[in-house]
Amino acid sequence: MSALLTGIGELLTGRLPGDEGPELPLVVERAALVLDGDRVAWVGTAEEARSAALAADVHVDAGGRAVVPGFVDSHAHLVFAGDRSAEFAARVAGEPYAAGGIRTTVAATRAASDEVLLAGAARLVGEMLRQGTTTVEIKSGYGLTVRDEARSLAVARRLTEETTYLGAHVVPDGPGGIPGDVAAYVDLVTGPMLAACAPHARWIDVFCETGAFDVDQARAVLAAGAAAGLDGRLHANQLGPGPGVRLACELGLAAVDHCTYLDDADVAALADSGTTATLLPGVEFSTRQPYPDARRLLDAGVHVALASDCNPGSSFTSSLPFCVALAVREMGMTPTEAVLAATRGGARALARDDVGRLVPGARADLVLLDAPSHGHLAYRPGVPLVAGVWQRGRPVLPQPGPS
């Protein structure tokens, strides 16, 4: 099927100078777009579309509203069971956030059936889609046994191609609640658990932080993952300073996520590497920690992505528009930088160039906003501006009615 969209008041192509492919401005005013199959076939102005007499199976009039690329959420933990709203309430009342809360979700996840885990994750993917997210990465990390990590990833694989093995999330307690043996657990994560999970995963991730895994353990897990054909990414520098960001840069990982506590050497290492710094402001909102300094990173030339980190403990939001608004209000990003970080930035963090942009040849994933420009995503926080979503060239929102 092909579709011609006209009457687009403003189209954010996401194209920047230096990108490969045909020249196009970042923003096209009074734009038109042709989708063919699952791809973008043509992008230009309404006048160009008229003079080329473009035709398609379906014609959609955007009525002067803005169109942006579908959001790319490169960091989410959607396979879990249980509820931690009481932990959130305690935190709001003054309790600090600690990585140990993860164990609460681990117990509930192990007790849940595959069907319950799939239904919960699918519900969140649907929630994301309604807020404009058309590509999502999903991690394991709440199973922490060979069986529970492997089935978490099998669930994730049913929902996305961007699946991440996070057996190295925390060290689970041993029998009787005795703290687990870290070295023995790293052996499990890099041995039988990796063997069971690798067939379902594209990526491998480690929570490199005090209270989780140190830099040598992270290095060992990433090396084992690489040997099994998985590309690496890291959680690092979330709760305090540490060597994780520099490890990610040294290894040339696609992304290092959180980046809340950075020193000058971390920023320089990020600027000198191709590693994307993924910022997760939903975490700082929910844990009441200081926000990462996106301005400092952008001014240093670092590639920045925004993602939700949707998870039941530190950031139970599925909304990239909310993260965009936080990044603009709290982290020194301009509205355009923030929307780019949630689209082409997320794509870069997943080593993808087929999503996150609306240029000829890209995947036809796009969002129609009930707003005249992409800046309204930050200007109108908390407002449901997503009026329509196309995924792989098909309108998925609003749901097409029975014909």
The binding track of 290-329 with respect to Fe ion, each residue x by CB under 5 A or -, is: -------------------x--------------------
Decide whether 33 or 193 has the Cβ nearer to ligand NIG.
Answer: 193
**Farthest-apart Cα atoms in the chain, separation:** 74
E strand segments, 144-227 = 162-168, 203-208
Q: Which of 164, 311, 343, 373 binds ligand NIG (CB under 6 A)?
A: 311
Q: Which residues contact 94 (CB under 8 A, 6 or more apart)?
A: none
Asked if 314 interacts with ligand NIG (CB under 6 A), we say yes
Instruction: Choose which of 70, 244, 313, 321 interacts with ligand NIG (CB under 6 A).
Output: 313
**Is 75 labelled a binding residue?**
yes
* Rounded distance between C-alpha atoms, residue 48 and residue 230, angstroms: 44
Q: Which helix (H) or strand (E) holds 233?
A: strand 231-236
3-class secondary structure, 321: helix
Candidates 6, 74, 105, 135; binder of ligand NIG (CB under 6 A) is: 105
Return the sign of the alpha-carbon dihedral for residues 208, 244, 267, 76.
negative
Q: How far is the CB of 292 from ligand NIG (least distance, A)?
A: 13
- DSSP assignment of 336-363 equals HHHHHHTTHHHHHHTT-SSSS--STTSB
71/80 with CB nearer ligand NIG: 80
The residue number with the shortest CB distance to ligand NIG is: 313
Judge whether 272 is annotated as a binding position. no
Among residue numbers 170 through 209, which ones bind ligand NIG (CB under 6 A)?
Answer: 207
Residue 207 or 322 having the CB closest to ligand NIG: 207
Partner that binds at residue 44, options Fe ion, ligand NIG, none, CB closer than 5 to 8 Å by kind: none
152 vs 311 by CB, closer to ligand NIG: 311
Compute the CA torsion angle 363, 368, 371, 376 (nearest 10 deg): -40
309 binds ligand NIG (CB under 6 A): yes
Distance CA 320, CA 348 (A): 16
Q: Are strands 203-208 and 58-61 parallel, antiparallel or unpaired?
A: unpaired
Q: Which is nearer to ligand NIG, 84 or 219 (CB)?
A: 84
**Structure tokens given for 205:** 């991730």
Residues that bind Fe ion (CB under 5 A): 309
Where is the binding site for Zn(2+), in residues? 75, 77, 235, 309
Where is the binding site for N-formimidoyl-L-glutamate, in residues? 142, 311, 313
